[in-house]
Amino acid sequence: MTQFNRLVSAGCSFIHGSELGDEVPYSQSTYPALIAKHLKVDYNCIAYPSASNQGIAKQILESKADWQSFYIVQWTYPSRFGVHLNQSMKDKNKQPTTWLDLAPNSWDYDIKAFHEYREYSQQLNEMGIPELSKKIYTYTGHKQYMFQTELCMRAVKGYLDSQGAHYLFLPACNDIAELTMHSFQGKGFIEWCTDKNFPVGPHKHPLQQAHQEAFALLLDTVNI
């Protein structure tokens, strides 16, 4: 029997539902949304595109978890790096923020990559963010990425345990599959989707079939 009345999902664009066609404000077609619908509980998504694991942890730690909450957290690529800035900027939705997620060779730095985010990309370039990102990734590597990811997981686990919340940790990629509670048949979400040859969008996000199959897999293998 379900012991919670709301399901909260956290992660990056895979969980937000990029390219699923209904991602504003967030998709109702992702596997966490399908699980919530199946269990007949309220659904809230705090995932956002390009999130780092620090960003995912920040969203969860700032949420109001309690014993009636169930969190599905799909941790993302460990090489992404979240930072608090000492000045305000505008995010992709043109809202003020002091938080920024960095990534190696990010499309966010390319003014020509996404027409709808051209102002955002131009802002990052004017602030010198591509150069900052390049320096960070020049002097850090896999050990640092895994260390910071494990710290995020431990912090979130401690917070959710302290609130009596239920939770499930899953990996977006193979790199962190050994750190999470469960996986997709031993793989990260994106590698599992690739192996199954599920359709993806122009920007490589798995589409509806992948989420429907992930929903079925988790219901069959995880005690929810």
pLDDT attached to residue 221 = 83
The rounded Cα 21 to chain-centroid distance in angstroms is: 18
pLDDT above 70: residue 2: no
Fold of the 6-79+142-221 domain: Rossmann fold (3.40.50)
**pLDDT by residue (tens digit) across 80-121?**
999 999 999 999 888 999 999 999 878 778 877 667 788 888
Q: At what angle do helices 129-139 and 118-127 cross, to 10 degrees?
A: 70
What predicted TM-score, i.e. pTM, was given to this entire model? 0.94
Give domain limits for the chain: 6-79+142-221, 81-139
**pLDDT by residue (tens digit) across 39-83?**
999 999 999 999 999 999 999 999 999 999 999 999 999 999 999
Q: What percent of the chain has pLDDT over 90?
A: 83
**pLDDT by residue (tens digit) across 189-199?**
999 999 999 99
Measured distance CA(20)–CA(99) in Å, rounded: 26
Which value, to the nearest 10 degrees, does the dihedral of the CA atoms of residues 96, 62, 35, 164 take?
180
